Amino acid sequence: MQLIESIPAMKEISRRLQSSGSLGFVPTMGYLHEGHLSLVDASVKENPHTVASIFVNPAQFGKNEDLSTYPRDLERDLKHLQSRGVDYVFYPQASDIYPEDYGTWVDVDKLGDLHCGKSRPGHFRGVCTIVLKLVNIIMPGFMYMGAKDFQQLVILQKMLQDLNLDTQIVPCPIVREDDGLAISSRNTYLDADERKRALCLSQALAHSRQLFMDGMRDSRQLIKAAAEIINNAGGQIDYIECVHPQSLLPVELAEADTRMLMAVYIGRTRLIDNAPMA
């Protein structure tokens, strides 16, 4: 496995790899967990070559968010990636990605203003910009992304489609702890009590899904049931919505493919989770 830090070197390697079969790509912000590594495993299994990137993207953090405290451990990450069979790790510097005269940004109209976009203005602009830059540098056939940030997944699929890019996104399932908590780098911010209370997200989703299975279709009632569980656990709700899986717009009546999305503060830590109704 090789660590590549320069953009020209990564582009040259990518051109060479393309001639020998499909290239899989896993973009990350580092501090890897089993969620990230499940994406790596899928790419390594399905492609002759896999590139992973590690870049804590400053453009997707708001003014009062956790850029400076976001967990980082490059040595640990490299060991994980090497053990899973990654061929190259792209580790650029922020000054190379966003030089002083940088002025081009990518925004997906409407989708980026919903849900997480309301409480994190500019977040998806930052996500779309870095992902497009990475795709242009690495030129993968397939990019592996988890479904935990479902809104991000839909937005990036739309961006690639609208801009006629050849890279295809391979959605991968949410990876959870044994007790149901969606694995996230931000789980490290939780103390022992908050860690227990954080289970309210997956419990709320499971409860609403069961109500749907039992015949409830009114989204307002499904959301109300989920909110009750979260409130009882002391969570502070940012949003809970039942949405169409492509438009991400709220629906009045839930169907099997309707997605319940939620963002909840447990203490000072903002967690997200989601699930289809069936």
Q: Is the dihedral of CA 133, 138, 142, 147 positive or negative?
A: negative
> Which residues fall within 8 angstroms of residue 23, CB to CB, at 6 or more apart?
14, 17, 47, 49, 50, 51, 138, 139, 140, 141, 142
Question: CB–CB of 143/169 below 8 Å?
Answer: yes
Give the residue from 8, 86, 78, 77 showing the smallest Cα distance to 50.
86
Tokens of 271: 């967690």
User: What's phi and psi for 188, nearest 5 deg?
Assistant: -70, -15
Active-site entry in 33, 36, 115, 244: 36
DSSP code per residue over 199-225: THHHHHHHHHHHHHHTT--BHHHHHHH
Catalytic site residue 36? yes
* Distance in angstroms (rounded) separating the CA atoms of residues 263 and 118: 11
What are the E-state strand segments in 92-165?
A: 142-146
For 186, which DSSP code?
G
Catalytic residues: 36
